[in-house]
Amino acid sequence: MSLDPWTAAAILGMAAVTYACRAGGYWLFRQITPGPMLRAVLSYIPGTLFVSFVVPALLAGRAHTAVGTVATLAVMVWTRSLAWAILAGTAAAWLAWSLA
């Protein structure tokens, strides 16, 4: 198996762009001091990104996706532990998928 030079160049280019985006964000926030308003706005970003990844997967998913989601939410409400919720949701989705 050989590595195509164009594929290697594409992978290296994507890695460089990804690194530049992350490093640029760190550099930018070292240069400025965000005020309370900007801090408040930025505090909502992780949740909105999570929802933007999860909702399309749920809408496109099948029954095992819904089972995993319900299990994750139930365990999260019950234990308040993200690790247990992820573990339970993954196990429930896998079990529903394997039984179907």
- Model pTM? 0.55
Residues 61-71, mean pLDDT to the nearest whole number: 91
Is pLDDT larger for residue 55 or for residue 12?
12
Dist. CA 45–CA 40, nearest whole Å? 10
Please report the pLDDT score of residue 21 as a whole number: 93
Please report the pLDDT score of residue 8 as a whole number: 94
The two three-digit tokens of residue 63, written as one number: 């029954």
Q: What is the CA radius of gyration of the chain?
A: 20
Residues 26-33, mean pLDDT to the nearest whole number: 88
Contact 88, 71 (CB under 8 A): yes
pLDDT tens digits, one per residue of 71-80: 999 999 999 9
Q: How many CB atoms lie within 10 A of CB 6?
A: 8
